[in-house]
Each structure stands twice: as structure tokens, then as C-alpha cells.
């Protein structure tokens, strides 16, 4: 079939959909109940109230804020965690579009509260197996050539393997966000200090009360690692490591040390708390799976998804996000029949390495119960597994790196719930 024929079919399809939508909206207005009728004066053909007087003046909000009608789009913070000790706030993925997470909704994970750091008094020390130990001010770091890249960041405990599973996309995989990061290549900074031949690891330490410490293989430090000071065009927020953090694209979130104060170049890993008692998993054969750096290919449908409801039969766009720590997403397949059959979704440009990729699939819901799910395939050929497949390999004691397929069940009344629960 020619591209012209395809374009004509697409236009005809859009016309039919829009005509049906217009009729449905008209019917909804005519049949509106008392709650909608109370606002009827603002509906066409009337002039709405907000057109009858000037709006809020410039300067009343020197830092822009969302509409008050979007006040429920906030981070998902568990009431069961002592937030000053082991805190986490999840991104409301089901409420977002595109691939970039707004700074105010970017997920949080920290272990000793959020420090308040004066950038003028902050220093980054680089020492160990280097020719010239160095101490950098923030001004020093900003003198280096800068670069900007879009990368995702994800906690390796996102989600855990045990029930009860989350109800929404945010509950399940909300410890995930994506931003444009600006900073300095770590390779460039290490070259400034001069690495000794025996340098094999870099131990990064944060300036928070937990002094979070992780060992980074030198190969990653000399690849795409960054020292980041800005996120989505503005300086890092305190929750994201202000004034400087480490960014390791594709690596588990805990390794992307925030409030970075020290880089110690060594010949061996340090085996800190965060890479022994935490972020290490016991396998069925009794061995320990440690240094599981990379976040593997993963996807989730965000609309329709748990906590939402389909209000009418007919066209529904299925959309979601996919990502892989090993590179670009090559394909995303979607099933609308509980995994019996799969079809390719459309990937929204740009498709970037180690960034979120938005996918879409047009679907017509017939009003009958259905189970929808997605699976990602990255450029290495790796296919996102089911939860049963993961558990068969890793056992019941596994905690980290759950990249399983998460299906949603749509009931006849349109309610969407977690089909894995």
C-alpha cells in the first residue's frame, strides 16, 4: 500500500473519530447533570467568566507554578516511611505526557534527609590513585566545557518482587524519572588529575548525613559519566543533589551519588553498606548477586492504567514509556488480549540512548473485559520478561532489579486495575 493511500486512510480515520467525538461531547452537554449545569454559563456559545476581566498580573508569581486545577498532580509519598531516614517520593507517571519529568515531580530517594548546602562553601575533592589530587569549587567545575544529555534515572528497587503490588503506575515504577542533565564529563575531570595505571575504581561519597558511598568501575567513569549541576535548564534542586551530583546513565539510581563531595580513585571497590547489605541479592544457589549496575529493558502502559477508568467505548489511545540502561529502545510490543498476541507500538521521536521512550498504540475498546500490557525490546535484542520468568531465575529472596511486564485489567465498567495483584 502506498504512503499516499496510508495518509488518506489516516485522515479519514481522524475525521470519523472527531465526528464521533463531537457528537458524544454534544450529547454529554445536553444531558449534563446538576453539577455540570451549574457551570453552563461558561460553556459555548456563552462567553466564559475568565474572559470578562484581566487575569492575574505578571510578577505575582516570580517562579512559575502549575494551575490550581492540577493541584493533585504531585509526588506519590508513602505515609509508611519515616521520610527523614529512608525517604522516597514517586513520580506520578500516569499523569504525565512525553518523556521529560518536571523538576517538581522528579522522584526522590535519600537516606539521611536533604542537606542544605551553600554552594560557595561546597568543595569536591578528587584524590587517591591520581597524579595531581585536586579540590574543586563550583566555579571551578563550571569553567570546564559543559554538555547536556537526556537520561532516565531509576531506583533498582522499582518495584520490589513481593505482594502487595502497587495499584497505579506510580505505585509500581514511580521511582523513575527522566531529565535533560547539564554538567561536566567525569572523564575530563579525571584527565585533569591524571589517572595512575593501577586506577580501576572511583569511590563516590555524598555530603548528606548518611555519607552515601558507592564504588564505580573506571570504565564507566571514562565513558558517559557526568558531574551534573543543572537539570532541565535550572540548577539542581536540593532533593536532586544541589549543588553537584554524579550521573551514571543507565546505572541503578543509588550509584548516582547526590551532594557529591569526594571522588576517591582506588584499585578495588570499597564494599560499602550500599553495595553489600543493600543493593546485593541472594540467589537460589546461595551465591550473592552484587554490582548489578545496569537497569535492564522495561516498559509500562501509563494510560489506561491502574486507578483510571474508561468512560466510553470506542477509540482509546494506549500509551506508555519504555527504557533500557543498555542503550536505545528498538521496539515496544503491546498486547490487548492478556499476552496471547502482540503488535508493535509506534515509538515517539526522539528515541535516545538510556532515556525514556514514549510509545503509542491506537485501540478500540468494545466494552468487554480486557487485559493490556507492554514489553520492551532494546537495541541489544533483550526482551522484557514476565514476573514468573524473573522469579524462576532469581528466586523468592530477590529484591532489586524487577523489570517485569506489568499487565492492567480493564473491567466491563471501564475500571482499570493491576492484573498481577
CATH number of 383's domain: 2.60.40.650
Q: Could you tell me the residue range of the domain that residue 215 belongs to?
A: 87-289
Instruction: Identify whether 49 is part of a domain.
Output: no
Contact 184, 144 (CB under 8 A): yes
Question: Cell numbers of 34, please?
Answer: 446538576
Q: Does the pLDDT of residue 98 top 80, yes or no? A: yes
Handedness of CA 389, 161, 333, 232 (dihedral sign): negative
Mean pLDDT of 289-296: 95
Residue 80: band (very low, low, confident or very high) from pLDDT cuts 50, 70, 90 = confident
Mean pLDDT of 338-351: 98
Contact 343, 333 (CB under 8 A): yes
Per-residue pLDDT, 221: 98
* 171 and 236 housed in the same domain: yes
CATH of residue 162's domain is 3.90.420.10
> pLDDT higher for 283 or 82?
283
Highest mean pLDDT among 7-16, 52-61, 308-317: 308-317
Question: Cell numbers of 368, please?
Answer: 468487554
Query: 58 φ, ψ to 5°?
Result: -65, 140
Please name the residues in contact with 345: beta carbons below 8 A apart, sequence gap of 6 or more.
318, 331, 332, 333, 334, 359, 360, 361, 374
Instruction: Identify whether 7 is part of a domain.
Output: no
Question: Which among 144, 217, 213, 150 is positioned nearest to 185, based on CA atoms?
Answer: 144
* 266 and 136 housed in the same domain: yes
Separation CA 252–CA 256 (nearest Å): 7
Provide the mean pLDDT of the chain: 90
Number of domains in the chain: 2
* 244 and 329 housed in the same domain: no
* 166 and 284 housed in the same domain: yes
Mean pLDDT of 73-83: 81
**pTM summary value:** 0.90
- Which of 256, 289, 322 finishes a domain? 289
Percent of the chain surpassing pLDDT 90? 79
- Which of 289, 318, 347 finishes a domain? 289
Contact 369, 412 (CB under 8 A): yes
Per-residue pLDDT, 129: 98
Instruction: Identify whether 41 is part of a domain.
Output: no
Per-residue pLDDT, 38: 53
Instruction: Identify whether 111 is part of a domain.
Output: yes
Mean pLDDT of 162-173: 92
Q: Are strands 176-185 and 201-206 parallel, antiparallel or unpaired?
A: unpaired
* 267 and 306 housed in the same domain: no
Per-residue pLDDT, 22: 42
Contact 259, 186 (CB under 8 A): no
Mean pLDDT of 245-249: 98
Q: Does the pLDDT of residue 250 top 70, yes or no? A: yes
- Give the count of beta carbons closer than 10 Å to the beta carbon of residue 386: 16
Per-residue pLDDT, 160: 86
* 347 and 228 housed in the same domain: no
Contact 208, 110 (CB under 8 A): yes
* 130 and 271 housed in the same domain: yes
CA-to-CA dists, residue 296 to 179, 321, 379, 403, angstroms: 19, 14, 11, 7
CA-to-CA dists, residue 62 to 59, 79, 115, 243, 337, angstroms: 5, 32, 25, 22, 50
* 94 and 212 housed in the same domain: yes
CA dihedral 69→71→72→78, nearest 10 degrees, is 180
> pLDDT higher for 74 or 60?
74
Q: Dmax of the chain from CA atoms?
A: 78
Per-residue pLDDT, 16: 53
Per-residue pLDDT, 84: 64
Instruction: Identify whether 42 is part of a domain.
Output: no
Mean pLDDT of 357-379: 98
Per-residue pLDDT, 117: 97
Instruction: Identify whether 56 is part of a domain.
Output: no
Q: What DSSP character marks residue 204? A: E
The tens digit of pLDDT for each residue in 102-112 reads 999 999 999 99
The tens digit of pLDDT for each residue in 177-210 reads 999 999 999 999 999 999 999 999 999 999 999 9
The tens digit of pLDDT for each residue in 8-48 reads 444 545 555 544 444 443 333 333 333 444 588 999 999 99
* 271 and 329 housed in the same domain: no
Per-residue pLDDT, 13: 52
- Exposure on the CB side of residue 58, measured as CA atoms within 13 A: 0
**Helix spans in 65-184 (H):** 138-143, 169-173
* 135 and 221 housed in the same domain: yes
Length of the chain: 421
* 269 and 218 housed in the same domain: yes
Per-residue pLDDT, 87: 84
- Which of 289, 319, 335 finishes a domain? 289
Q: Does the pLDDT of residue 309 top 80, yes or no? A: yes
Instruction: Identify whether 151 is part of a domain.
Output: yes
Q: Does the pLDDT of residue 155 top 70, yes or no? A: yes
Separation CA 339–CA 354 (nearest Å): 26
Question: Cell numbers of 325, please?
Answer: 540502561
Query: Quick one: how far is CA 267 from the chain centroid?
Result: 33
Instruction: Identify whether 67 is part of a domain.
Output: no
From 130-134, 279-283, 306-310, the region with the lowest mean pLDDT: 279-283
Question: Cell numbers of 188, please?
Answer: 575530563
* 259 and 314 housed in the same domain: no
Per-residue pLDDT, 56: 84
> pLDDT higher for 56 or 94?
94
Mean pLDDT of 378-398: 94
Amino acid at each position: 500500500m502506498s504512503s499516499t493511500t496510508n495518509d488518506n486512510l489516516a485522515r479519514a480515520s481522524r475525521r470519523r473519530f472527531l465526528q464521533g467525538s463531537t457528537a458524544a461531547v454534544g450529547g454529554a452537554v445536553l444531558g449534563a447533570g446538576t453539577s455540570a449545569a451549574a457551570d453552563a454559563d461558561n460553556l459555548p456559545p456563552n462567553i466564559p467568566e475568565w474572559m470578562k476581566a484581566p487575569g492575574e498580573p505578571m510578577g505575582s508569581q516570580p517562579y512559575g507554578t502549575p494551575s490550581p486545577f492540577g493541584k493533585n498532580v504531585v509526588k506519590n509519598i508513602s505515609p509508611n516511611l519515616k521520610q527523614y531516614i529512608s525517604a522516597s517520593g514517586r513520580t506520578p507517571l500516569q499523569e504525565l505526557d512525553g518523556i521529560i519529568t518536571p523538576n517538581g515531580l522528579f522522584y526522590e530517594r535519600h537516606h539521611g534527609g536533604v542537606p542544605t548546602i551553600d554552594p560557595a562553601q561546597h568543595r569536591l575533592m578528587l584524590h587517591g590513585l591520581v597524579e595531581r589530587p585536586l579540590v574543586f569549587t563550583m566555579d571551578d567545575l563550571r569553567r570546564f566545557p559543559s554538555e547536556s544529555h537526556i537520561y532516565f534515572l531509576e531506583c533498582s528497587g522499582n518495584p520490589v518482587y513481593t505482594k502487595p503490588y502497587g495499584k497505579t503506575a506510580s505505585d509500581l515504577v514511580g521511582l523513575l524519572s527522566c531529565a535533560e542533565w547539564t554538567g561536566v564529563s567525569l572523564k575530563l575531570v579525571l584527565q585533569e588529575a591524571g589517572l595512575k595505571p593501577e586506577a580501576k575504581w572511583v569511590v563516590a561519597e555524598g555530603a548528606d548525613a548518611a555519607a552515601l558511598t558507592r564504588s564505580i568501575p573506571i570504565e564507566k567513569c571514562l565513558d558517559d559519566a557526568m558531574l551534573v549541576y543543572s537539570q532541565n535548564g535550572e540548577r539542581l534542586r536540593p532533593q536532586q543533589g544541589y549543588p553537584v551530583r554524579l550521573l551514571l546513565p543507565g546505572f541503578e539510581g543509588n550509584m548516582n551519588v547526590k551532594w557529591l563531595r569526594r571522588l576517591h580513585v582506588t584499585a578495588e571497590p570499597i564494599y560499602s553498606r550500599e553495595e553489600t547489605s543493600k543493593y546485593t541479592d541472594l540467589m537460589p544457589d546461595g551465591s550473592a548477586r552484587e554490582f548489578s549496575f545496569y537497569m535492564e529493558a522495561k516498559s509500562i502502559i501509563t494510560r489506561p492504567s491502574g486507578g483510571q477508568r474508561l468512560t466510553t467505548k470506542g477509540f482509546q489511545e494506549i500509551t506508555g514509556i519504555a527504557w533500557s540502561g543498555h542503550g536505545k529502545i528498538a521496539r515496544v510490543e503491546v498486547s490487548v488480549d492478556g499476552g496471547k498476541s502482540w503488535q508493535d507500538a509506534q515509538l515517539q521521536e526522539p528515541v535516545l540512548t538510556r532515556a525514556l521512550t514514549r510509545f503509542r498504540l491506537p485501540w478500540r475498546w468494545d466494552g468487554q473485559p480486557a487485559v493490556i500490557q507492554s514489553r520492551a525490546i532494546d537495541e541489544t535484542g533483550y526482551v522484557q520478561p514476565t514476573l514468573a520468568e524473573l522469579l524462576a531465575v532469581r528466586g523468592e529472596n530477590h529484591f532489586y532489579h524487577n523489570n517485569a511486564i506489568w499487565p492492567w485489567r480493564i473491567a466491563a465498567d471501564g475500571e482499570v486495575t493491576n492484573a498481577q495483584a
